[in-house]
Structure 1
């Protein structure tokens, strides 16, 4: 992984790296097959959690997980309700080229995640999680939800490169994308992310135009949005469907 390779160059003795843990409910008997696949594709995965048919969610905190990714929406919801930042992964119909020199992380500035008041949130955002939070304590900003821990961890790695005058060549690049024209709204999102220690490299405001072309140009590895409808809509724009 490029981020870890660059970190090791700049900080040879540091153990603070971008860490990936493979979590699966598969039985330990398939461990050798997993290891062979990881070695075959030259992946930097050294930690495993194989639970033999049980859900791995209960182990997330033990592994100090900052972000849990899964193709199973139910497991994602379970992780969020356990206080762990989580997101659903989905596959594209066509192959897409992604940068192998930078980890690109994009944030949808129009998402309810950045709402100032829970009353402004649209029905269906964040599914069961936001409904649970509204009933129990409400949400006013991104800093109050589990995603904060991931932002803080990402920002910490970001700053390690800045400390070595590597801002212009940082292998972590962040984007804020919005189709709205409200400058104040964009400023609020930037301040919210900054309060978590994360700096935004590029701000792209579409001012009413579709933001799909902007996301297509970025080709982010991770895009944070809180509604699957928006994700699928963006996917159709990006893939030209």
Structure 2
């Protein structure tokens, strides 16, 4: 029987999100559209394993859900790299004992269209155009900040993922009210609709997939998934968010209703393997405390003028 991705959590990831290719990327930028110097540099470094990148710890942990009896997580390289440079990606993965078998390399062309064929649950890339396109196509996607590499591993047996609420887990319905009419209108809007679940946002499918993965693996896998909602909402608007998750029959382990407080101080304590937010300022704040961060380029905060 052919291999199928239908029953797996599939993470599509660019080479720059998985490995530290920032020096090589500068060589690419210096080529002004000519990728041959970049290809030559990657070929010269074929036997030099690339250093771990921003998403490396997350991928390493997710692969621990696989064992000899079950393959539950599939990680696929989805990259604008050329196939020759892809050789170094696979060799680097092998050197780091990451089990990667599949990859799509498009040599400069947008790769997001292959997300459908992959049944992808998440796409991580350093290219904002590819992330926007993936989100518009309905896939959870985020632009990674390569400089936000995690410094320490305090929770080796937990995958910790933190999500913003509005425009990430939830739609930006309420965020639009807040940005256009202010806090009082936002609170009034949410209080009046407290029993009405919010529409799902771009990362609802990922939260559902993580929930399924943990349920299917059960106690057979020592790795656990711990999730947190980290939102600028405060009481009384917190209630609609909680009731929405209840309506979805999905639990989060921690919820932080911060009412405008700086998220970075709370992320420092939670120590996520990844944090997803739609607002650039929150992402940059998270990066400042070395929290691996993904910018979800969707919702009113990212509307192009």
TM-score bin (small chain): 0.7 to 0.9
TM-score (norm 1): 0.74
Cα distance in 2, alignment partners of residues 44 and 208 from structure 1? 41
Structure-2 residue corresponding to 1:181? 234
The answer on whether the counterparts of 1:151 and 1:196 sit within 8 Å (CA) in structure 2 is no
Do residues 73 (structure 1) and 128 (structure 2) align? yes
CA drift of 1:33 comes to 1.8
Computing the radius of gyration from Cα coordinates, the structure with the larger value is 2
Check 1:193–1:88 CA distance in 2 against 1; reply closer, same or farther (3 A cut): farther
Are the counterparts in 1 of residues 79 and 104 from structure 2 also a CA contact under 8 Å? Answer: yes
> Is the CA contact (8 Å cut-off) linking 1:108 and 1:177 kept in structure 2?
yes
Question: For residue 100 of structure 1, what is the aligned residue in structure 2?
Answer: 156
1:158 aligns with 2:200: no
Could you list the per-position Cα deviations for residues 7-37 of structure 1 after superposition, in whole angstroms to 9, with x for gaps in the alignment? Answer: 53xxx5333x122111112222233322211
- What is the TM-score when the length of structure 2 is the normalising length? 0.60
Match runs of 1:43-192 below 5 Å: 43-92=98-147, 96-98=151-153, 99-109=155-165, 111-113=166-168, 114=170, 115=172, 117=174, 119-120=176-177, 122=179, 141-143=198-200, 145-161=201-217, 163-164=218-219, 171-182=224-235, 184-192=236-244
Query: Using a 3 Å threshold, how does the CA distance of structure 1 residues 58 and 93 change in structure 2: closer, same or farther?
Result: closer
Gaps of 5+ in 1: 124-139
Task: Give the SS at the match of 2:204.
Answer: helix
Alpha-carbon deviations, 1:96-129, whole Å to 9, x = none?
22443221111224x4443554641537xxxxxx
2-structure distance, mates of 1:225, 1:122: 16
Deviations 1:153-181, CA, capped at 9 Å, x for gaps: 111012224x4498xx6521101223543
Q: Please list every run of 5 or more consecutive structure 2 residues that lacks an aligned counterpart in the other structure.
A: 1-59, 181-196, 291-305
CA-atom RMSD in angstroms: 2.9
**Aligned residue pairs, count:** 212
Once residues 285 and 215 of structure 2 are traced to their aligned partners in structure 1, the CA distance between those partners, rounded to angstroms, is 34
